[in-house]
């Protein structure tokens, strides 16, 4: 038998942990199987909006794990996919995450990001599948014509990996606040035999009743972070104190200016005539193909400083630093239809 958890005075607000619910410590639970034998109480049965988002996302993870034969989590190493990993960890604790993690390796990934990916996968003891764009090019799955970006080549590589492994549901870290096309996408986003999204023919999605029906060959993209904003992601990372790639924090980097974006110096991204490499104090707001992902000048070297910076930022994260979204106003919509994340 356990010692019944002692209720604290709800009204006092003592031990309030900002960013989450009020937390009160109690006597250790005798069974001792929990790492943190503490009791959480909530004033007035209210949850903060961040706790509500967490609860909604955990519900989605559990729904998919229960209803799909072969789910997979698409993990880029970026902050959104790290929040997904954290939510998946919470959804099934103390069991391990009941699905593998898939990363599409563009060959142009930041080494810091791969390191974080490996640390997460090792800590959670989950299986990592790497789908390599280079390998896909070598195998003739996708064609590198020298003009197509690695981000674009990821689409074919990803769809091939999903088909090859027979995944029926793939979790993606997309958020509706990112972009206008995403604002209309469902949490469960149905993909046809060709992995395509049909924005005009989406299934209605009501209450929290998700429809996971698919036919053979089709799969479902699932977006558990649909209702999170960029700021929510950072608040959550600050609250959870989990590892994110170091390139999100301010650091010294050799960069050059191209199309109004600061890009990292790299063997994969040779400078064109007239482009000059300079050292600056920068950080990245998003993480992707390093030939297309720009950084911003920033002194923010802690999550708290990043949050302050974002709270006053006046340019969307994609608009500021993602070359792949800038080609046309409908760029994201086009790539999504083809089967992009």
Partner 1 sequence: MAADQDNETGSTQHTLDELGVGSMDLLRFATAGSVDDGKSTLIGRLLLDSKAIFEDQLEAVEATSQSKGYDYTDLALLTDGLRSEREQGITIDVAYRYFATPSRKFIIADTPGHVQYTRNMVTGASTADLGLVLVDARQGLTEQSRRHAVLLSLLRVPHMVLAINKMDLVDYDQAVFDRIHREFTSFATKLSIPDLEVIPISALKGDNVVTRSEHMPWYQGSSLMHHLENVHVASDRDLIDARLPVQYVVRPKSDEFHDYRGYAGQVAGGVFKPGDEVIVLPSGLTSRIAGIDLFDREVAEAFPPMSVTLRLEDDVDVSRGDMIARVKNAPKPSQDIDAMVCWMTNKPLQPRQKLAIKHTTRTGRALVKDVQYRLDVNTLHRDQDAGELGLNEIGRVQLRTTVPLLCDPYAKNRTTGSFILIDEATGVTVGAGMIT
121: tokens are: 């996968």
**Residues 58, 114, 124, 129: which binds partner 1 (CB under 8 A)?**
58
Rounded least distance, CB 36 to partner 1, Å: 5
Q: Applying CB under 8 A, does 65 fall inside the site for partner 1? A: yes
- Residue ranges in 270-329 that form contacts with partner 1 under rule CB under 8 A: 303-304, 307, 311, 313-316, 319-320, 329
Q: Tell me whether residue 52 or residue 266 sits nearer to partner 1 (CB atom).
A: 52
267: tokens are: 């063997």
Q: Applying CB under 8 A, does 338 fall inside the site for partner 1? A: no
**Residues 122, 148, 164, 184: which binds partner 1 (CB under 8 A)?**
184
Question: In angstroms, how far is the first alpha carbon of the chain from the final one?
Answer: 47
Handedness of CA 290, 294, 299, 305 (dihedral sign): negative
- Residue ranges in 212-241 that form contacts with partner 1 under rule CB under 8 A: 213-215, 226-227, 229, 231-232, 235, 238-239, 241
- Choose the binding region for partner 1 from 6-14, 104-112, 127-135, 148-156 (rule: CB under 8 A): 6-14
CA of 321: how far to CAs of 118, 238, 325, 335, in Å? 25, 22, 9, 17
127: tokens are: 């299986």
Cα 130 from Cα 133, distance rounded (Å): 10
Q: Tell me whether residue 150 or residue 235 sits nearer to partner 1 (CB atom).
A: 235
Q: Tell me whether residue 106 or residue 189 sits nearer to partner 1 (CB atom).
A: 189
Q: Applying CB under 8 A, does 11 fall inside the site for partner 1? A: no
> For residue 297, what is the enclosing H or E element?
strand 295-297
Q: Applying CB under 8 A, does 140 fall inside the site for partner 1? A: no
Q: Applying CB under 8 A, does 42 fall inside the site for partner 1? A: yes
Q: Applying CB under 8 A, does 35 fall inside the site for partner 1? A: yes
Yes or no: say if 68 and 98 are a contact pair by the CB < 8 Å rule.
Answer: no
**Residues 140, 147, 207, 216: which binds partner 1 (CB under 8 A)?**
207
Q: Applying CB under 8 A, does 137 fall inside the site for partner 1? A: no
83: tokens are: 């929040």
Cα 54 from Cα 100, distance rounded (Å): 21
Yes or no: say if 296 and 275 are a contact pair by the CB < 8 Å rule.
Answer: no
Q: Tell me whether residue 141 or residue 238 sits nearer to partner 1 (CB atom).
A: 238
126: tokens are: 């989950």
Window 164-183: contact mask with partner 1 (x via CB under 8 A):
------------xx--xx-x
Rounded least distance, CB 254 to partner 1, Å: 26
Q: Tell me whether residue 185 or residue 289 sits nearer to partner 1 (CB atom).
A: 185
227: tokens are: 């209702």
Instruction: Indicate the DSSP class of residue 26.
Output: -
Rounded least distance, CB 258 to partner 1, Å: 17
Q: Applying CB under 8 A, does 36 fall inside the site for partner 1? A: yes
**Displacement of CA 44 from its chain's centroid (Å):** 32
Q: Applying CB under 8 A, does 20 fall inside the site for partner 1? A: yes
Q: Applying CB under 8 A, does 249 fall inside the site for partner 1? A: no
Write down the residue that tokens 């301010």 correspond to.
250
Give Rg (Cα) of the chain: 21
Instruction: Indicate the DSSP class of residue 260.
Output: T
Cα 217 from Cα 166, distance rounded (Å): 8
Q: Applying CB under 8 A, does 37 fall inside the site for partner 1? A: yes
């Amino acid at each position: 038998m356990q010692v019944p958890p002692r209720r604290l005075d709800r009204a006092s607000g003592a031990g309030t942990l900002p960013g989450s619910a009020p937390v009160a410590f109690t006597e250790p639970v005798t069974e001792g199987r929990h790492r943190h034998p503490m009791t959480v109480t909530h004033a007035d049965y209210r949850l903060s909006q961040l706790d509500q988002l967490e609860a909604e996302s955990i519900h989605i993870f559990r729904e998919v794990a229960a209803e799909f034969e072969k789910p997979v989590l698409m993990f880029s190493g970026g902050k959104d996919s790290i929040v997904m990993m954290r939510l998946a960890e919470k959804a099934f604790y103390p069991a391990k995450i009941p699905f593998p993690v898939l990363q599409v390796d563009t060959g142009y990934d930041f080494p810091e990001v791969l390191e974080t990916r490996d640390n997460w996968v090792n800590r959670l003891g989950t299986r990592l599948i790497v789908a390599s764009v280079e390998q896909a090019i070598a195998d003739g799955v996708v064609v590198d014509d020298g003009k197509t970006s690695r981000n674009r080549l990821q689409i074919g590589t990803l769809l091939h990996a999903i088909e090859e492994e027979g995944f029926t549901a793939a979790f993606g870290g997309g958020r509706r606040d990112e972009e206008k096309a995403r604002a209309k996408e469902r949490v469960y986003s149905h993909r046809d035999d060709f992995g395509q999204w049909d924005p005009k023919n989406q299934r209605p999605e009501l209450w929290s009743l998700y429809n996971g029906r698919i036919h053979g060959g089709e799969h479902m993209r699932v977006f558990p972070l649909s209702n999170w904003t960029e700021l929510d992601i950072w608040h959550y990372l600050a609250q959870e104190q989990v590892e994110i790639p170091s390139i999100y924090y301010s650091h010294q980097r050799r960069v050059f200016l191209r199309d109004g974006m600061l890009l990292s110096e790299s063997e994969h991204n040779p400078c064109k005539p007239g482009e000059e490499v300079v050292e600056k104090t920068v950080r990245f707001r998003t993480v992707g193909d390093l030939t297309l992902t720009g950084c911003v000048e920033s002194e923010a070297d802690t999550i708290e400083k990043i949050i302050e910076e974002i709270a006053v930022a006046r340019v969307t994260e994609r608009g500021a630093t993602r070359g792949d979204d800038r080609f046309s106003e409908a760029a994201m919509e086009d790539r999504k239809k083809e089967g992009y994340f």
